[in-house]
Amino acid sequence: MRKPLVALVGRPNVGKSSLFNRLVGMRKAVVSDVPGTTRDRIIDEADWNGVVFDVVDTGGLEVYQPKADGTQAISPLEEGSRQFVAEIRSQALLGIEEADVIVFVVDTLAGVTAADEEIATTLQRTDKPVLIAANKADHVGRFDHAFEFYGLGLGEVFAVSALHGTGTGDLLDAIVAALPFHTEEDLDAEDDSIKIAIVGRPNVGKSSLLNKLLGEERAIVSPVAGTTRDAIDTRITWNEMPITLIDTAGIRRRGRIEPGIEKYSVLRAHKAIERADVVLLLLDATEGVTQQDAHIAGMINDAFRSVVIVVNKWDAIEKDTHTMTAFREAIARDLAFLSYAPVLFVSALSGQRIHSVLETALQVQEERLVRIPTGELNRIIREALLRHAPQTKQPRPLKIFVAQQVRVDPPTILLHVNDRDLLHFTYERYLENQIRRVYSFTGTPIRISVRERKDRRKAR
């Protein structure tokens, strides 16, 4: 059974993301004083007194502000977010629809606003428990300001400070009490889903691919580069296999990353790679393989994550019988260190070959968990040594006494040698290729570790 879900809703810039970070115990949501920073929903797990539940942070629900002449104007969101007002509101309303408990976050400094009253009217239509978190109550003098929010006609009001943590314990107690189910059997189930992260440069179609895989508009999609800022987790079941899809912000070249919000978005994309089992590296077919694609591929390789290279927008280029072969050759040349990765050519817009994406990712995950029997591994290494002996300028040759696979996820091979300095990285690559001739480990890097065996005669 899924964990219960708590949604944080409210108008922009009342501190929803700060409260989200406080409840889940980490800085996962992007926080800024600029209204409209949070655009998509992000979800993470909270644990309070042994009760585990998910918390979702949503974008601001304020869409219009009344003018003095009675007309309505777009709310004062950050310039880059104004064009996404409708989508932000849609995502927030979807968060309310899916939630088991709703926490309405308001601002004690601003008091009750017309936008708060409009949101309260929306929340009054739901039959779900609603709690009010009167945020920015940073000292006792502001606690009294929280009581005016009882006038909204919703649930109990809690004066809190997301910045300092004041009052959040009482709020969490109330959240747990309002959960519709929180038995030990319901909540102790571990998240054993396969984590699949979607990464790439801005505007290569990551969110479009996510939506096509889900079959619904669960992430905001826009041709404007940099729309997605947070790493968004979406849990699905595919062929009876639990999967968590992670949509991430586009990773720009370091020199082009703007300070502030975008900088933290890119850091979260890096973390998404670290916690993924399989990474879908999206390339833009209309632009070919760029230096930034190679940089991102290097990040994936350095993190020892399994990878599937997905060439998106394949429907947008003119093709002949040699086009796909030429693109594969470009990938093999520019991303040579990912030679083990499968390559898919898809269109997130039309759905072309989309069915193969998750299928291939799960196959790659299975390869990641393959274990080579020690006897078989040593036979492969011995044959490799006989086929091509290591070259060295040292007076003594390299000796590999024994090899063993010490772990999976990622597959890690430990070589016991006489002198680690005699094992050149090019020979390590040769040994890896010989292993892959028998065990392909498709889409998965092989980590080779080296340990010197002590000379027992010297030890005596």
Domain ranges of the chain: 5-187, 194-368, 374-459
Q: In terms of pLDDT, which residue wins out, 458 or 238? A: 238
- Give CA 122 to chain center in angstroms: 31
Q: What is the pTM of this model?
A: 0.61
Place of tokens 């990878």: 307
pLDDT confidence of residue 90: 54
If residue 264 lies in a helix (H) or strand (E), which one and from where to where? Answer: helix 261-275
Return the percentage of the chain with pLDDT > 90, whole number: 40
Is pLDDT of 357 > 50?
A: yes
Amino acid identity of residue 266, one-letter, is: V
Q: In terms of pLDDT, which residue wins out, 70 or 236? A: 236
Q: Over range 8-28, report the average pLDDT.
A: 82
Q: What is residue 389's DSSP assignment?
A: P
The yes-or-no answer to whether 5-187 and 374-459 have a common fold is no
Is pLDDT of 121 > 90?
A: no
Residue 122 backbone dihedrals phi, psi, to 5 degrees:
-65, -45
Identify the weakest region by mean pLDDT among 117-121, 172-176, 373-377, 411-415.
Answer: 117-121
Q: How confident is the model at residue 309 (pLDDT cuts 50, 70, 90)?
A: very high
The residue among 317, 265, 303 whose CA lies nearest residue 29 is 265
Amino acid identity of residue 79, one-letter, is: E
Fold of 5-187: Rossmann fold (3.40.50)
Is pLDDT of 66 > 50?
A: no
Q: How confident is the model at residue 246 (pLDDT cuts 50, 70, 90)?
A: confident
Tell me whether the omega of the peptide bond preceding residue 410 falls within 30 degrees of 0, making it cis.
Answer: yes
Q: Which residues contact 164 (CB under 8 A, 6 or more apart)?
A: 138
Q: How confident is the model at residue 266 (pLDDT cuts 50, 70, 90)?
A: low
Identify the weakest region by mean pLDDT among 48-52, 221-225, 249-253, 301-305.
Answer: 221-225
Q: In terms of pLDDT, which residue wins out, 257 or 56? A: 56
CATH of domain 374-459: 3.30.300.20
Fold of 194-368: Rossmann fold (3.40.50)
User: Which pLDDT tens digit goes with each residue over 329-356?
Assistant: 999 999 999 999 999 999 998 889 999 9
Is pLDDT of 39 > 90?
A: no
Tokens at 47, concatenated: 């644990």
If residue 452 lies in a helix (H) or strand (E), which one and from where to where? Answer: strand 447-452
pLDDT confidence of residue 89: 53
For the beta carbon of residue 173, count every other beta carbon within 10 angstroms. Answer: 13
Please give the Cα distance from 123 to 102 (Å, whole number): 9
